[in-house]
């Protein structure tokens, strides 16, 4: 090494790039080489961490593709052409839901009895012209409000429509 040369070194493995201190471009090139090496250096603990995380993501996605192909397709659709930063912004405040809910997805059992509607019904005991003020069913009103459960078919249709609108607005 002459007086005018210097070494840029990898802090992990000690790999050195000799450069001429009189040449700015030489120095820049040497630093660029060291940065590139750093991102792949087998002794860099971050490189190992990235490899491990990549392997974990691939394994997880492989499992998802096998067990829940629809969910895997959603992941591909949501992540396609986006960076991780964009993905996390998009997922903030959102939830991944199946396109269609069913007994198999656990929603039927989970939502049974959750939703009612109040409808006006006619008393089955009284005459409309002359309702009994002491009637146990209508209390003398003849028309009265009754809670009826929203049907599972309607709940499924509402969910499906929510997803359709969400996907159309993407
Ligand atoms: Zn190195
Ligand atoms: Zn009545």
> What separation in Å is there between the alpha carbon of 21 and the centre of ligand 1?
22
> What separation in Å is there between the alpha carbon of 80 and the centre of ligand 2?
62
Helix, strand, or coil (residue 7)? strand
> What separation in Å is there between the alpha carbon of 147 and the centre of ligand 2?
17
Q: Where are the domains of the chain?
A: 5-71, 107-168
> What separation in Å is there between the alpha carbon of 137 and the centre of ligand 2?
5
Return the minimum-mean-pLDDT range out of 110-114, 142-146, 151-155.
110-114
Cβ pair 30, 9 in contact under 8 A: no
How many whole angstroms separate alpha carbon 41 and alpha carbon 28?
A: 19
What's the mean pLDDT in 125-135?
Answer: 95
Backbone angles phi, psi at 6, to 5 degrees: -145, 160
> What separation in Å is there between the alpha carbon of 112 and the centre of ligand 1?
60
Q: List, for residues 29-65, the tens digit of each pLDDT value.
A: 888 999 999 988 989 988 888 888 888 888 888 888 8
Cβ pair 29, 59 in contact under 8 A: no
Distance (Å) of CA 63 to CA 30, 59, 66, 69, 70: 43, 6, 5, 9, 12
What predicted TM-score, i.e. pTM, was given to this entire model? 0.44
pLDDT for 127 beyond 70? yes
Binned at pLDDT 50, 70 and 90, residue 78 comes out as: confident
| Pairing, β 16-20 against β 116-122 | unpaired
Return the minimum-mean-pLDDT range out of 57-71, 83-97, 114-128, 144-158.
83-97
| Pairing, β 116-122 against β 143-149 | antiparallel
Q: Which ligand is nearest to the CA of 45?
A: 1
Cβ pair 38, 64 in contact under 8 A: no
> What separation in Å is there between the alpha carbon of 92 and the centre of ligand 2?
53
Residue that has been written with the tokens 């996605």 in this structure: 61
Q: In this structure, what token pair is assigned to residue 45?
A: 């603990």
Q: Long-range contacts for 161-166 (Cβ within 8 Å, ≥24 apart)?
A: 163/97, 163/99, 163/100
């Amino acid at each position: 090494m002459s007086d005018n040369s210097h070494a840029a070194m990898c802090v992990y493995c000690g790999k050195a790039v000799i450069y001429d201190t009189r040449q700015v471009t030489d120095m820049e090139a040497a630093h660029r080489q060291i940065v590139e090496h750093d991102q792949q250096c087998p002794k860099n603990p971050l490189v190992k961490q990235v490899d491990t995380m990549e392997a974990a993501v691939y394994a997880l996605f492989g499992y998802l593709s096998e067990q829940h192909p629809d969910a895997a397709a959603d992941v591909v659709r949501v992540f396609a052409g986006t960076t991780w930063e964009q993905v996390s912004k998009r997922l903030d405040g959102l939830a991944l839901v199946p396109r269609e809910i069913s007994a198999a997805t656990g929603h039927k059992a989970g939502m049974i009895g959750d939703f009612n509607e109040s409808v006006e019904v006619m008393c089955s005991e009284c005459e409309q012209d002359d309702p009994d003020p002491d009637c146990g069913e209508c209390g003398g009103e003849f028309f009265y409000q009754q809670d009826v459960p929203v049907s599972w078919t309607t709940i499924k249709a509402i969910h499906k429509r929510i997803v359709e609108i969400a996907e159309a607005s993407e």
